[in-house]
Chain A
Amino acid sequence: MYKIVRKENLGSSVVQFDVEAPKIAAKAKSGQFIIVRLDEQSERIPLTIADYDREAGTITMIFQAVGFSTNALKTLEAGDSILDVVGPLGTASEIENYGTVVCIGGGVGIAPVYPIARDLKEAGNKVISIIGARNEDLLFWKDKMAAISDELLIATDDGSAGIKGFVTDVLKSVMDRENVDRVWAIGPMVMMKAVANTTRPSGVKTIVSLNPIMVDGTGMCGGCRVQIGTETKFACVDGPEFDGHLVDFDLAMRRSSVYKTEELQAVEHDHQCRIGGIGKCH
């Protein structure tokens, strides 16, 4: 069991947990992820390691309650425990002094981009961070991001914070005025695709972090396979970070929606349990 030592609501649907997991905290590197299983019935949910405290032996996870499992996770409070947490999984980000890097976090993607931006800064890069979301409620960690960035830029779709527009609009203006050596972009698949398309003409290497549906996270099932150039890769072991210019985003998006009907069924079933329709559900 892995105890939640701190819970913070970062908006109406985004939650932060700090969880006791000393072995993972000791090993975690930016770019890696964990898989959690809430209870015996739960599916295995991959979440990025948003931060870690090696001394306290804790890791930080941030998730958006989007469907059945993440909503169930959201009901836990500080002091509660998660049945299984496994990691750190995946390969770490390639941190070097590239010169000037732009780190883009979209929505809940701000969480995974934070430790990468921090490490890039420590490695001597000039770090320009761009965070964005649909609206201000979905933005978080502005102060944390500002503290480790040379410059922090914000974009929201509705203009409730920062400029009104997409992170790609901000990226374009940055690229117009700066010589950018590398870009990191983590967020919804559509955003990562748009960023990759924005940098493609100039050829600036752009790293994205893919989040396909996973089961084991150790390269055993092949469910997380993604198309990178002409090759099929397993995101859980070969990634989750890949060269955004080589990723087949359309395929990845189609693969992410395979269980849409089942996801709705799970929510519906749970609803019936709660209103007492069926005797014993869980």
Chain B
Amino acid sequence: MPLKAPRTSMPAQDPAERSHNFKEVALGYTAEMAKTEASRCLDCKNPLCVKGCPVEVDIPGFIRAIVSDDMSGAVDVLKQKNNLPAVCGRVCPQESQCESKCVLGIKGESVAIGRLERYTADWDMAQTFKAPEKPEPKSERVAIVGSGPAGLTAAADLAKMGYQVTIFEALHTPGGVLMYGIPEFRLPKAIVQQEIDYIRALGVQIEVNAVVGKTVLVDELLDTEGFDAVFIGTGAGLPNFMNIPGENLNGVYSSNEFLTRTNLMKAYDFPNYHTPIKIGKKVAVIGAGNVAMDAARTALRLGAEESYIVYRRSAAEMPARHEEIEHAEEEGVQFRLLHSPIAYEGDEKGQLTKMTLQRFELGEPDASGRRRPMPIEGDTVEMPIDTVVVAIGQGPNPLVPHSTEGLELTKKGNIVADEETGVTSRDGVFAGGDIVTGAATVILAMGAGKKSARAIDAYLNAKRDQ
């Protein structure tokens, strides 16, 4: 195959149609497309792509297997390093990770590693389910707090080593942001569910409705419940607000509430499902990250006539993945750049009716290297609006940090943990994912879960040998 063969594009639902349904936007490769794309890989001796993957998937290895029609081989290679390939193939920021390092990308287009990963994982899911082999059981018990990608990965790896693992999850459904945050049209919940079923098949117990810090404390897990180690992966579940006038009016949602109502509680299927959501005709989402794009696209699907992204910097600084911005634009999301709300107003019933936007211009680059937004004195505009979704980031939820003795925290309230091991200031307690790093990515949370699983194994081995 010539070097210049173009990257195989992935079919997607038509924008006009998909902006009104919750079905998956990207449709995935056919077998033929996958093979064509896989054949572009040079099978490098020193594969740079692998260095770009936080969990070091043997990328040329699984791609080679696709080329030689050995799909189950491809699955085996992938699953050695990645417990949730169907998820990562869909939501990893590949363009800044594995694919950004691919040699083909230097002069042309990199191999579509994420799409091939998705194809391989989906192929696997379509096969009849075979129960994973049970390893030699070990006597130690490990408690995992939170069932997002960090917790699920740590649980799976520890179960594969033979430990008895129990996950404690506050919500009624496991999966973390994969279930309650990332929308169905980007990550179908049936896929997350299959991954969770697999983890259960490994022997992991999942206790839902268990709020650690309330139902049970970390100290109790260690002291009275008989666990030998605890991994904390509680994520970044605390919504930020801007503290501006009118923010408590009806119609102003945090992105967490907006997306939880829609995804976890299935408000898009109201009244068949009983949790309501109010949307109106005109929706503005404040912020321009992945979460904001998800909210703006969700608003259209819930029936909004107009959906806006309101962002105080310019297009170049938008933190969302390029593909997400493009999809949002195609679906009709409008962008109000260099604007930010300073006040909301409502009617006599307390329902939001309009917002005042401050206009900005860009100044010198700030600490993050992005040009700093500067308010233009006196330049404000009013915008009639029915619904606002505040998507300006999340902080660490304090329930676990504040109810656990001896856990060192950062100023912002994140748990201090070693990057390579997840070791915290408390003996036997490990932590990883968004609760340590602040809001980041699925694959980084998984990587942290993996490293902690290894460190927990080492910790328990050392204890056993004592």
Chain A: residues with CB nearer than 8 A to chain B?
A: 23-24, 27, 37, 41-44, 68-69, 83-89, 215-223, 225-227, 232, 237, 251, 254-255, 257-259, 262-263, 265-266, 269-270, 281-282
Name B247's closest neighbour in chain A (CB-CB). Answer: A232
8 contacts between A and B (CB under 8 A): A43-B276, A87-B215, A88-B215, A215-B257, A217-B211, A218-B237, A218-B397, A262-B270
B260 / chain A contacts, CB cutoff of 8 Å: 215-216, 220-221
Residues B204-220 near A (CB distance < 8 A): 208-211, 214-216
Residues B170-206 near A (CB distance < 8 A): 170-172
**A84 near B261: Cβ-Cβ < 8 Å:** no
Interface segment among B40-48, B75-83, B248-256, B281-289: the answer is B248-256
**B276 near A263: Cβ-Cβ < 8 Å:** yes
Interface residue B398 (Cβ < 8 Å from any Cβ of A) = yes
A254 / chain B contacts, CB cutoff of 8 Å: 250, 349-350
Known: A41-B274, A262-B270. A219 touches B237 (CB 8 A): yes
Chain B's nearest CB lies how many Å from the CB of A26? Answer: 9
Q: Which of B260, B271, B397 has the most CB of A within 10 A?
A: B271
**B276 near A259: Cβ-Cβ < 8 Å:** yes
Name A268's closest neighbour in chain B (CB-CB). Answer: B271
Chain B: residues with CB nearer than 8 A to chain A?
A: 170-172, 208-211, 214-216, 237-239, 241, 243, 247-248, 250-251, 253-254, 256-257, 260-261, 265, 270-276, 278, 349-351, 397-399
Query: What CA separation (Å) do A218 and B265 show in the bound complex?
Result: 16
Chain B's nearest CB lies how many Å from the CB of A86? Answer: 4
Chain B's nearest CB lies how many Å from the CB of A271? Answer: 11
User: Which of these, A69, A89, A251, A265, contacts B350 with CB under 8 Å?
Assistant: A251
Chain A's nearest CB lies how many Å from the CB of B184? Answer: 16
A89 / chain B contacts, CB cutoff of 8 Å: 211, 214
User: Which of these, B251, B257, B399, contacts A237 with CB under 8 Å?
Assistant: B399
Query: What CA separation (Å) do A221 and B181 show in the bound complex?
Result: 11
**A218 near B211: Cβ-Cβ < 8 Å:** yes
**B397 near A23: Cβ-Cβ < 8 Å:** no
Name A258's closest neighbour in chain B (CB-CB). Answer: B250
Query: What CA separation (Å) do A282 and B271 show in the bound complex?
Result: 10
Q: Considering the complex of A and B, which 5 residue pairs feature the smallest CB-CB distances, nearest first?
A: A254-B350, A262-B276, A221-B257, A86-B209, A269-B271
B274 / chain A contacts, CB cutoff of 8 Å: 41-43, 68-69, 266
Name B170's closest neighbour in chain A (CB-CB). Answer: A218
Known: A221-B257, A254-B250. A265 touches B271 (CB 8 A): yes
Query: What CA separation (Å) do A129 and B227 show in the bound complex?
Result: 45
Chain A's nearest CB lies how many Å from the CB of B433? Answer: 15
Name A227's closest neighbour in chain B (CB-CB). Answer: B248
User: Which of these, A37, A220, A225, A251, contacts B237 with CB under 8 Å?
Assistant: A220
Query: What CA separation (Å) do A281 and B260 show in the bound complex?
Result: 22
**B272 near A221: Cβ-Cβ < 8 Å:** no
Query: What CA separation (Å) do A276 and B174 show in the bound complex?
Result: 35
Name A91's closest neighbour in chain B (CB-CB). Answer: B214
Name A27's closest neighbour in chain B (CB-CB). Answer: B215
Name B211's closest neighbour in chain A (CB-CB). Answer: A218
**B215 near A216: Cβ-Cβ < 8 Å:** no
Query: What CA separation (Å) do A11 and B260 show in the bound complex?
Result: 35
Query: What CA separation (Å) do A219 and B234 show in the bound complex?
Result: 12
Chain B's nearest CB lies how many Å from the CB of A281? Answer: 6
Known: A219-B399, A237-B399, A269-B271. A88 touches B214 (CB 8 A): yes
Name A221's closest neighbour in chain B (CB-CB). Answer: B257
Query: What CA separation (Å) do A79 and B248 show in the bound complex?
Result: 42
Query: What CA separation (Å) do A219 and B237 show in the bound complex?
Result: 8
Chain B's nearest CB lies how many Å from the CB of A54? Answer: 14
Query: What CA separation (Å) do A84 and B278 show in the bound complex?
Result: 25
Name B208's closest neighbour in chain A (CB-CB). Answer: A84
Query: What CA separation (Å) do A262 and B11 show in the bound complex?
Result: 37
**B278 near A259: Cβ-Cβ < 8 Å:** yes
Q: A219-B399, A269-B272 are in contact. List 12 more A-B contacts (CB 8 A).
A: A23-B210, A43-B276, A84-B208, A218-B170, A222-B254, A222-B257, A223-B254, A237-B398, A258-B251, A258-B278, A259-B278, A266-B276
User: Which of these, A44, A222, A258, A265, contacts B239 with CB under 8 Å?
Assistant: A222
B211 / chain A contacts, CB cutoff of 8 Å: 86-87, 89, 217-218
Chain A's nearest CB lies how many Å from the CB of B133? Answer: 31
Q: Which of A85, A215, A220, A281 has the most CB of B within 10 A?
A: A220
Query: What CA separation (Å) do A259 and B253 show in the bound complex?
Result: 13
Query: What CA separation (Å) do A225 and B278 show in the bound complex?
Result: 17
Known: A258-B250, A262-B276. A216 touches B170 (CB 8 A): yes
Known: A223-B257, A263-B276. A43 touches B349 (CB 8 A): no
**B171 near A216: Cβ-Cβ < 8 Å:** yes
Name A84's closest neighbour in chain B (CB-CB). Answer: B172
Chain B's nearest CB lies how many Å from the CB of A269? Answer: 4
Query: What CA separation (Å) do A41 and B172 show in the bound complex?
Result: 12
Query: What CA separation (Å) do A37 and B275 show in the bound complex?
Result: 11
User: Which of these, B237, B272, B275, contacts A281 with CB under 8 Å?
Assistant: B272
**A221 near B254: Cβ-Cβ < 8 Å:** yes
Chain A's nearest CB lies how many Å from the CB of B193? Answer: 13
Chain A's nearest CB lies how many Å from the CB of B403? Answer: 11
A86 / chain B contacts, CB cutoff of 8 Å: 170, 172, 209-211, 215
Known: A216-B170, A255-B350, A259-B278. A85 touches B241 (CB 8 A): no
Query: What CA separation (Å) do A152 and B243 show in the bound complex?
Result: 44
**B398 near A257: Cβ-Cβ < 8 Å:** no
Query: What CA separation (Å) do A41 and B274 show in the bound complex?
Result: 6
Query: What CA separation (Å) do A35 and B214 show in the bound complex?
Result: 13
Query: What CA separation (Å) do A251 and B250 show in the bound complex?
Result: 9
**A37 near B172: Cβ-Cβ < 8 Å:** yes
Known: A87-B214, A282-B272. A44 touches B278 (CB 8 A): no
Chain A's nearest CB lies how many Å from the CB of B391? Answer: 12
A216 / chain B contacts, CB cutoff of 8 Å: 170-171, 260
A265 / chain B contacts, CB cutoff of 8 Å: 270-271, 276
B243 / chain A contacts, CB cutoff of 8 Å: 232
User: Which of these, B257, B272, B350, contacts A41 with CB under 8 Å?
Assistant: B272
**A218 near B399: Cβ-Cβ < 8 Å:** yes
Name B273's closest neighbour in chain A (CB-CB). Answer: A41
Q: Which of A23, A86, A222 has the most CB of B within 10 A?
A: A222
Name A88's closest neighbour in chain B (CB-CB). Answer: B214
